[in-house]
Every structure is written in structure tokens, then in C-alpha cells.
Structure 1
């Protein structure tokens, strides 16, 4: 990024300190309402995010704020208290949890994994799949006895599910013991929301219809010092017909390049060995900045930072451009493991999914990647049983999986999400047929994964050691550059370093080996 671009970027979005107020203020301050009165007020006053408006939304200026502070009267409100956050869903939710944990700890709270010790419990939720939503409501049910035993316990629901009108309605009707509901755009208001939940008499609901600004100086409580998440953008503008994310996370908003670079440098100085750049559609980064500066340009600058490994997720094939391929092909700390969701191998299904590329265009992108990076590892996401998917169309997915040679895939049976266009489509595929297709697809992916793993037997690979194996405390575990899990014997002193391991046994999803030499010096 040259000096002129830096000047332009600093002029694009200069935010001024602002006390952004929720348009639910009146709702949040209801006192001494009966459940019936509350529901009536809620139904006539609460304005949920509008799916129609979201699809028609235009580009708006997004302000960047560097002025986050814990209000003085809340600075030590958590002294002697403990918090617990349970996280569901994607890496973005994990990142949000790190921010909320950082805010809690600045307020004086301590972390706990024991629900009986907690003074406040937050469920950071995911709305992508129906199964994830069911898990959250199951957990809400399990927490009710704790609330009955300890009325001072604060229970909150946040994250993507909180942005859905149907979810908030269900909580109001069936789980009135919940104290706090807030969405994805106002995490920076957590101190104020906790205060309202502690001292108010009613459920606190703070869900914004409009996306928030970018708050740059939020605290974070990261797990360990080995791998770190770095969010580079928020939201998604793709509006795939099955996906709720554009409605729960809002429009695409990119962070300024210099703020991202500064954060990565800070992590490198702390000794982190790997970072993952995050975004709902990460390779659309920069398109809203008017800088002629995209993910490839950002990655090129990050190549010069002294950190061994840099990944990114999740990408959309439509935005995976030649500049990004060019930079990734330079190697170094740019890894050649690429997660590239395809969702279906049939062009007609891709069209009604709203994916904005065809089977042929996806395969052409794969060809470009393979040409630039012959040894690249490709993984993907696939949905089976999309409304009215024929047997022949499913076979196109199977043949594409074989042709590309995916070494892993997240596979799902289609799950309708309320409010999305696909939820209104007629679905004439039986569940038995869907399960059969998923089973066949998984077998193919498993076979390809096992075949790819066999090639590592006898090879020496570099492994970033993350800790003990979950199955055996005497064995260490970590990942290769291509994201292959390795279990091996070696000294505990190697945790947090990159070591060389000789592979002596390949399994479908992991490799076994023995450390063959001392820690690799990272330059």
C-alpha cells in the first residue's frame, strides 16, 4: 500500500466519538409489565431487520471509531464476579467471543467454565443451520433451573440468532427468564447492556436493524499465544438464497488496511505463529473502500511481517481474483491450503442458490489455482438436497468433487432458514433420499481424503504444535501448512513452536509421526 493510498484511506471514513443509541431504547426501559403487556408492546414497537430492505440496501458511509472505553461507573462492576460464554458456529463467532471476554475482563469479571460459578452466562449463537439453533434452545432449557436457584444470575443470548425476529419472539413467549438479548452490531455496548440487565426489572433487548460502525480499539481476550483470529471485514452482500448471514451480519464493511496491518504486527510481536484473516466473504475485502486495494494487496503487505503462517476464511469463488492467486503463489508465510466453498456441482442449482457462478467458472478458477500452485490443497462446503435437486444434478456434484480432488469438505443436508428466498421454494425430496445422497458424498470425500493422506507416509512435514492430543495426553498434536492434523511423540517444550515430524502412519483425517529434530528457527 503506497503513501497516497494510506492518505486516501484515512480520509475515507473518519469517525467521530458518538454515543450510538439503539432504536429499542423505549422497549428496553419498560417497567413492571406483565408478560401479556410486554408481548403486545413488543409486537407493536419492535422493528426487526427487514429482509426486503436489506436486499435493496445501498452503500453508505461507515464510520470508524477509536474511542471505545469502559464507562467509569462500570469499570469495576465485575469485581468478585465471574462470566461464562458458550460459543456456537463459525470462527467469526469465536472472534466475537474473544472481544466480549476482553470487555468482561476490563470490567473486572473473571472467566469460568462452571455454570454454577457464573454470575453471567452468554450464549453466542449461530443462525446458519437449524441444528445449531436447536442446540441453543436446548441449552436455554438446561439453564432455567440455575436461574430458578439463583435469580441474580444473568442469562443472555447474543450473536446471529438474536438478529432473527422469530428467535426473539420465541424467547419472549417461551423463555421469559432470559435477561438479555443483543445482536451482532452492538457488542461494544456490552457494558451498558450488562448494567441494564443487572439493575433493570425487565428483559433487555438491544437488536439493531441497521449495521453498526467499526469500533477499532475493542479489547480482546485471546486463547493462548499460538494462533490468532484477525477480522478484516464484516457482513456479506452476496445474498445466496439459502443463507441468513447477510441479514444477521449486515452489509460488507471493510476495516482500513493500516488498522489490520498494525494488529497483525502486534500479534507477531507477541509471538503468535499463525493468524487467520476472517470475513463472511473474506476475499471481497476492500471493495467498499474505493481504494483499488483488495485482499491480494493486503496479503502482499502481510508477507513482510515476521509471522510464519497466514490463512484466510471464508472465501467466495466469485471474488477470488487473479491478484490474490498471484500473491498466494509467492509462498513464504502465504499458505497454499484454500477453502473454496462450491455448494453444488450443477450450474442450474448454483443459479437458484444465487451463487453467481457456474460449474464451468468454478472449475476454471480451480485450474488457475492449480497452475499457479500445483500442490495446493483445496477443501470446500457442499449442500445436498437443495429444493428440487434432481438425482442427475446431485451426480454433477459428485463428479465435480472427483474432478477437483477435494481433500476435505463440510457437507450438509439443506436446512431452510426463515426469511430466506429458498425457504419459500417447494421441496419435493424425501429425507431418506437426502440422507442417502449425503452418505454417498461423504464416502467419496472420505476416500479422497484417505488417498491424499497416504502420500504423507514416510515424509517429513513442518507442524505447528498446539498442545496435547485430545485422546492421549502423552501425545502432542498440531497442524501442517496444509491444515493436516498430526499426532506425534515429542517433548512438551515444543508446544507453541514449529517442528519437523516424520509421518509413519496415515489415517483418513489425521497423521501419526515422530519428531525428528529440534525446533525450526522461524525467520
Structure 2
């Protein structure tokens, strides 16, 4: 039996990879600790998507190396996105690391830490999230060629997970107490096209809905070729959240062409209008990129007007990051870092006013909230319109009710900020 400290960095897709590894390792008798100094092995699942994530991954690896040099741990292994891009360079710069592994080498990682890979355990995971919600990764990789993105290089071509395998995995999660299932992939829109030649996302959502999860949420939909029948299912099925995360990145036609998004501004507006027509209760989340190579002030102001007119319920914005393994690396990164940050701040200031207006609509209403944490007489949770980690929170007085994490409760909303709702529990669901 060996004691392992696993540090999982980056996105929810990385989280699922770590959870699968932990389940396999545990089946071989490995144990996991939350304290690095109590471990024999430090294993870091890295992110390599943008510069900040790379720097965090490198800093954590250097910290682990120092623990090894001090004798606090015996071995250090690094896996995931960063070695997929820079294995040779990392090996030369960090010879103290006992092994580097890419994103598709789970059996090799397990062998290195002294565990065995078992195919029959592929559906099993040890959750790193709170036990009442989980992510279900429905596909791996990406076939899109967005100019700013290195994911196809990191994760390979798009590979849908077989529907029956996902249902088995979901059944195990439900048996373990998961009440909210968040579907994720780099692109959920084309799920199943590589299996049967047609989109299977709606079929999957319907099958999962029949399993009676309380919440099923859809994250990371690509706007091109999105299967609109999913929006009808969302409206018709009570346990499919009226929520869609669809990263658009920009609205200007020249920039969208340069980004190789495959969709223009008019088509984007038409898509959003049709989604809201089919499901008036839907809340849309998107992300934008500011400071893309060649973005003029006029093009950025067009983006500002688009956001103001479209009025997304949830929005994030990131400064363009010049990644050497992305197609846009051949372009001149000609918007200064200061200007990128100024544009991000300007867009987010605009969104803050929109978010405040949208949240005021909840004041005086009773809504259903999934409780994530409780501290004495205060509870923090989320509505069906809020994904974990990135969206609004509901801050509630428990008002004498026995509220616990994982419970659904009713709450009267009395106040709001741009990114939070406030109120009091009125009952337990």
C-alpha cells in the first residue's frame, strides 16, 4: 500500500481524468492523502491551456521536487496537458521528476505508481467534487480548428464515449449519491457523430433524464451544428436545467473568420434568437476573447454592442493568449497586454450591469436551490441556472431548517448583487 498526494489542476475534464485514475489506483490498494507531506508519491495532473495555467503547473512541480529533495516524499510524477506539449523540454529542465505522462497514458501512469490498469473499472471514479454533484465527460479531444486553441494538439481528435458506457458511469454516480450531473466535453454539440454518423446528444440527455437525476446541465456547446432538439428537451424535461454554456469568443465577422469558428455574426444572432424562442426560460452562458491579434478598437466596440444587445445571463471574458501550439501563433500578437486587460475589464463592467439587472428579476420570488455548503446558520447554494465553480451563488439564512449539503431547498430571494442572490430558506424539497 502506497500513500499518494494527487494535485489535479485545470478544467473539469482534467478532474474526471484524475477521478478515474484514483479509482483504478485504489483498486490496487493505493490510498490518497490531502496532505503532501504525508505522501510517498506526489502526482500532479497539469493544465497547459494558457500561460497562467502553465506557470501554475510548473510552480507546483518545482514545489514537489523540493519536497523530494528534502526527503519528505520519495517520488514525483507529472501527467496531463503540459507533458503532452513539452515532455522533452520538461525532462531536460526537471530531471528530478520520476516520470512524465501525457493525456492518453492512464495505464502507464498507474504502472509507474505501482498500480494496475483494469478495463472493467473504466466507469468508476473517486469524486474530487462534493458528493452531490459530478461531471460526466461525454467525449475526448476536438476536431475543430479554432485558431486560438491548442486542445486538438493536447487531446487529439474527437472521440465520443459510447452511450451505454456513459449510462453505466452515470448509474454508478447516482448510486453514490450524485444528484446533479454536469455534461462536459470540449464540444458537446457533435457528440455521437463519430459513432453513428448523427448527433446523439439529445438521445443521451433523454436517457439520463429517465434516470431521475435532479439536475442535468449542459456545458461547452459549440455554436456551429448545435442540435436544437436539445433545447426542446430542456424545456420539456423538468430535471434538464434551463441552462446552456455556449462559448462564442467574438461577434465580428473578420475575427470569427480568423478564429476559424465556421459561423458569422448573423448566424450567431439567429441561433441565439431561436434558442430563446424555443425555451424562453433558458439562461445562456458564454465566454469572449478580448485582444485577439489585429482586433481594432472598432471591432472591440462591436463586441461591446453585441453583448449589450444580446444580454447574456452569464458571461466571462479572457485576454487573448498567444499559444505556440495554436494556429494563431503565426499571427502578430499586436494588442498590448495592458490593452487586453483594459478591454477585458471594460467588457466585464458592462456585463456586471446586465447581471445585476437579470438578478433583480429574482427578488421577491421563491426559487429552488441546491445547497453546496453550510456554515452554522448560513447556506450557500446554486439554482438550476448556475454551474458549479463559475456562476452565481445563493447565500441563504437557514431560518431554523435542518439544511445540509446536497439538499434541495426552497428559498425566498430578498436581495441581489451582480453575481449573488440573497435570501432565506422557506422549506426543504
TM-score by length of 1: 0.76
1:217 pairs with one of 108, 122, 125:
122
Give the ranges of 4+ consecutive aligned residues of structure 1 lying more than 6 Å apart after TM superposition: none
Structure-2 residue corresponding to 1:424:
330
**Residue aligned with 2:125, SS:** coil
For residues 141 and 177 of structure 2, the distance between their equivalents in structure 1, rounded to whole angstroms, comes to: 30
2:87 pairs with one of 157, 165, 168:
168
For residues 291 and 440 of structure 1, the distance between their equivalents in structure 2, rounded to whole angstroms, comes to: 43
For residues 283 and 332 of structure 1, the distance between their equivalents in structure 2, rounded to whole angstroms, comes to: 21
For residues 271 and 192 of structure 1, the distance between their equivalents in structure 2, rounded to whole angstroms, comes to: 30
Change (3 A) 1:215 1:446: farther
Structure-2 residue corresponding to 1:512:
422
2:75 pairs with one of 154, 158, 166:
154
Whether 1:351 and 2:293 are equivalent positions in the alignment is: no
**Residue aligned with 2:131, SS:** coil
2:340 pairs with one of 434, 448, 453:
434
Whether 1:487 and 2:392 are equivalent positions in the alignment is: no
Structure-2 residue corresponding to 1:477:
380
List gaps (5 residues or longer) in structure 1.
Answer: 1-78, 197-213
Matches within 5 A, 1:166-245: 167-195=86-114, 217-222=122-127, 223-245=129-151
For residues 222 and 121 of structure 2, the distance between their equivalents in structure 1, rounded to whole angstroms, comes to: 25
For residues 172 and 304 of structure 1, the distance between their equivalents in structure 2, rounded to whole angstroms, comes to: 48
Whether the 8 Å CA contact 1:408–1:446 is kept in 2: the answer is no
Matches within 5 A, 1:23-422: 79=1, 81-150=2-71, 153-164=74-85, 167-195=86-114, 217-222=122-127, 223-290=129-196, 292-422=198-328
Whether the 8 Å CA contact 2:244–2:284 is kept in 1: the answer is yes
For residues 177 and 102 of structure 1, the distance between their equivalents in structure 2, rounded to whole angstroms, comes to: 27
List gaps (5 residues or longer) in structure 2.
Answer: 387-391
Whether the 8 Å CA contact 2:242–2:283 is kept in 1: the answer is yes
| Superposed CA offset, 1:199-245 (max 9, x none) | xxxxxxxxxxxxxxx98725310144310121211110001111010
1:447 pairs with one of 331, 353, 362:
353
Whether the 8 Å CA contact 1:381–1:411 is kept in 2: the answer is yes
Whether the 8 Å CA contact 2:322–2:329 is kept in 1: the answer is yes
For residues 143 and 393 of structure 2, the distance between their equivalents in structure 1, rounded to whole angstroms, comes to: 33
Whether the 8 Å CA contact 2:189–2:199 is kept in 1: the answer is no
For residues 158 and 134 of structure 1, the distance between their equivalents in structure 2, rounded to whole angstroms, comes to: 15
Whether the 8 Å CA contact 1:383–1:411 is kept in 2: the answer is yes
Structure-2 residue corresponding to 1:60:
none
Whether the 8 Å CA contact 1:337–1:377 is kept in 2: the answer is yes
For residues 335 and 136 of structure 2, the distance between their equivalents in structure 1, rounded to whole angstroms, comes to: 40
Which stretch of structure 1 is more off in the superposition, 215-224 or 453-462? 215-224
For residues 124 and 41 of structure 2, the distance between their equivalents in structure 1, rounded to whole angstroms, comes to: 19
- Displacement of 1:146 after TM fit? 0.8
| Superposed CA offset, 1:113-163 (max 9, x none) | 212111111221112211100111112222232111228521111111111
For residues 337 and 363 of structure 2, the distance between their equivalents in structure 1, rounded to whole angstroms, comes to: 39
Higher strand share: 2
Change (3 A) 1:388 1:216: farther
- Displacement of 1:361 after TM fit? 1.0
For residues 188 and 251 of structure 2, the distance between their equivalents in structure 1, rounded to whole angstroms, comes to: 22
- Displacement of 1:383 after TM fit? 0.7
Task: Name the Cα RMSD after superposition.
Answer: 1.9
